[in-house]
Amino acid sequence: MERSRGAEAAFARIDRMYRDLEARVAQITQQLAAAGAEKEQRSHENAMLIESRLQLIEARDNAQQEAAETHRQIATLRTEMAAMEQALKACGRRSMRRGKRAARAGIRRRR
């Protein structure tokens, strides 16, 4: 009898250990599934980040090209403006000379 009680207790312990083991396996399986889903999500996020990074690089390159073109246009406009200022100064000098000549001529005629 005592043997049979000992055997029953041993089987009961084995059953408990087996249930605990099954619960642990189920828990680990669930954690593994969650880790796999998280890995998949991170992989997707990384792919999206790479795509966004490439788009930002392209946008930056375009902006730099536009800035360089604008800088060239500004330099051209400054050169043209300087030439116009020189031409305007030259016209002003001629006009002043003509005015002085006309004034002198007027003075001479009065005399």
Domain-embedded: residue 111: no
Give the H or E element holding residue 1: none
Per-residue pLDDT, 16: 97
Query: What is the distance between the alpha carbons of residues 28 and 35, in angstroms, rounded to a whole number?
Result: 10
Q: pLDDT of 57-108, one tens digit each?
A: 999 999 999 999 999 999 999 999 999 999 988 887 776 666 666 666 666 5
What is the 8-class DSSP label of residue 111? -
- Domain-located, residue 110: no
Instruction: Examine residue 43 and state whether it is found in any structural domain, yes or no.
Output: yes
Residue 99 lies inside a defined structural domain of this protein: no
* 88 domain residue, yes or no: no
The whole domain housing 33 covers 1-79
Task: Report if residue 47 sits inside a domain.
Answer: yes
CB atoms within 10 A of CB 40: 10
Distance (Å, whole) CA 67 – CA 60:
10
Q: How far apart are CA 16 and CA 18, in angstroms?
A: 5
Domain annotation covers residue 34: yes
When pLDDT is averaged across residues 50-59 and rounded to a whole number, the result is 98
pTM exceeds 0.85: no
The domain tally of the chain equals 1
In a domain, 64, yes or no: yes
